[in-house]
């Protein structure tokens, strides 16, 4: 890596020996996942704040194209810190190794839980809201530059030990001037099939509205408990967005959404969430909401749902009190 880069980020450097010790030489028992970049392992590190569990992303040595992405993640995560963004603990670039060490998210990523019948509507709402806050921070920073994530998907929303959402994987992300109402970048087509903004694919112009589109796809995945593209389904249902756009609100509620999840939903919460999801995936980018509006709308959807939970608790408590009163009379 360039010497100037090393000097600027020297405080984040972790010796390769420490990484070997933390992962037991990348032992299989510490393996977490694998992607196009390489493999991820967990390991315990001794850092300034004490013993810390970390997720170690070990880039494939043969992937020379990954060097810019490697540096980009270091720069972006060093400049941008938020409770709903994954934290970079450090990096290593010794002996042809390129390694990034992040905070460990023991509950994996959102995509692992989409089809879980025990994954409640309240949990889903909170995770969507927290991820939206992370993306909101990137789009509307305090400084001079905003960040366009460029690869929002359920697999890039990690969940910590308390199920708090953390937006991750900034290898494709780009800086844009925050002073402009609509930051845009002319860039090559990258991202993930099924999540990419069709307007971007046609023009090669990526905007913050492109991130909003991808986030809208995630909202539909969360609502419908399935991936945006499912090749096990017939042609009509293979693309989740095509399917829901051909369906009425009642059909989505009664035929697409899992019955267990549907029974948990307060009607206003469902209506608010569904309307937002459709707004995010509008064909025209200018018709999509800002992440500020996305956050406020998800807050409303959660409040509607929490109101239902509160009413249920009050009814339950009222029933208990009534039973006590009846028992007292009988005595």
How many domains does the structure of the chain reveal?
2
For residue 261, the Cα-to-chain-centroid distance in whole angstroms is: 20
Q: Would you list the DSSP string of 286-325?
A: GGSPPHHHHHHHHHHHHHHHHHHHHHHHHHHHHHHHHHHH
Active site residue 160: no
pLDDT at 37: 80
The token pair at 230 is 């499912």
Q: Does one domain contain both 88 and 152?
A: no
Query: What is the rounded CA–CA span in Å between residue 324 and residue 104?
Result: 48
Residue of 93, 151, 169, 197 marked catalytic: 151
Q: Per-residue pLDDT tens for 197-225? A: 999 999 998 999 999 999 999 999 999 99
Q: Does one domain contain both 87 and 116?
A: no
Q: Does one domain contain both 84 and 117?
A: no
Q: Does one domain contain both 136 and 264?
A: yes
DSSP H/E element including 232: none
pTM of the model: 0.89
pLDDT at 47: 77
Q: Does one domain contain both 264 and 187?
A: yes
Establish if 209 belongs to a structural domain.
yes
Q: Does one domain contain both 116 and 93?
A: no
Q: Per-residue pLDDT tens for 132-179? A: 999 999 998 666 678 999 999 999 999 999 999 999 999 889 887 766
> Strand (E) positions, 156-231?
157-159, 165-167, 174-177, 184-186, 205-207
CATH for 42: 3.30.200.20
Q: Does one domain contain both 48 and 119?
A: no
Q: Does one domain contain both 129 and 218?
A: yes
Q: Does one domain contain both 120 and 226?
A: yes
Given a cut of 50, the residues of the chain with pLDDT beneath it are 1, 326, 329-330
Q: What is the extent of the structural domain holding 211?
A: 110-311
CA angle, 221 then 88 then 121, to 5°: 25
Q: Does one domain contain both 115 and 48?
A: no
């Amino acid at each position: 890596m360039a010497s100037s880069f090393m000097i600027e980020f020297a405080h984040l450097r972790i010796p390769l020996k420490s990484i070997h010790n933390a992962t037991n030489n990348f032992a299989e028992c510490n393996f977490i996942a694998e992607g196009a970049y390489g493999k991820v392992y967990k390991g315990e590190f001794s850092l300034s704040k004490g013993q810390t569990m970390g997720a170690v992303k070990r880039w494939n040595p043969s992937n020379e194209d990954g060097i810019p992405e490697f540096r980009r993640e270091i720069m972006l995560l060093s400049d941008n810190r938020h409770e709903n963004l994954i934290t970079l603990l450090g990096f290593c670039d010794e002996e042809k190794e390129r390694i990034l060490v992040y905070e460990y998210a023991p509950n994996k990523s959102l995509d692992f839980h989409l089809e879980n019948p025990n994954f409640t509507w309240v949990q889903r709402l909170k995770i969507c809201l927290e991820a939206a806050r992370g993306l909101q921070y990137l789009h509307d920073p305090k400084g001079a530059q905003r960040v366009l994530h460029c690869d929002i998907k359920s697999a890039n929303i990690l969940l910590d030990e308390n199920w708090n959402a953390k937006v991750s994987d900034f290898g494709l992300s780009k800086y844009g001037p925050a002073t402009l109402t609509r930051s845009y970048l002319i860039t090559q087509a990258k991202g993930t099939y099924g999540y990419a903004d069709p307007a971007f694919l046609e023009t090669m112009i990526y905007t913050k509205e492109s991130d909003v589109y991808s986030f809208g796809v995630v909202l539909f995945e969360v609502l419908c408990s399935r991936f945006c593209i499912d090749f096990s389904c017939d042609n009509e249902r293979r693309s989740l967005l095509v399917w829901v756009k051909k369906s009425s609100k009642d059909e989505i509620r009664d035929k697409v959404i899992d019955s267990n999840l549907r029974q948990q939903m307060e009607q206003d919460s469902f209506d608010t969430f569904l309307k937002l999801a459709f707004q995010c995936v509008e064909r025209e980018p200018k018709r999509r909401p800002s992440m500020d509006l996305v956050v406020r709308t998800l807050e409303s959807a959660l409040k509607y749902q929490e109101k239902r939970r509160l009413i249920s608790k009050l009814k339950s408590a009222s029933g208990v009190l009534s039973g006590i009163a009846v028992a007292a009379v009988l005595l």
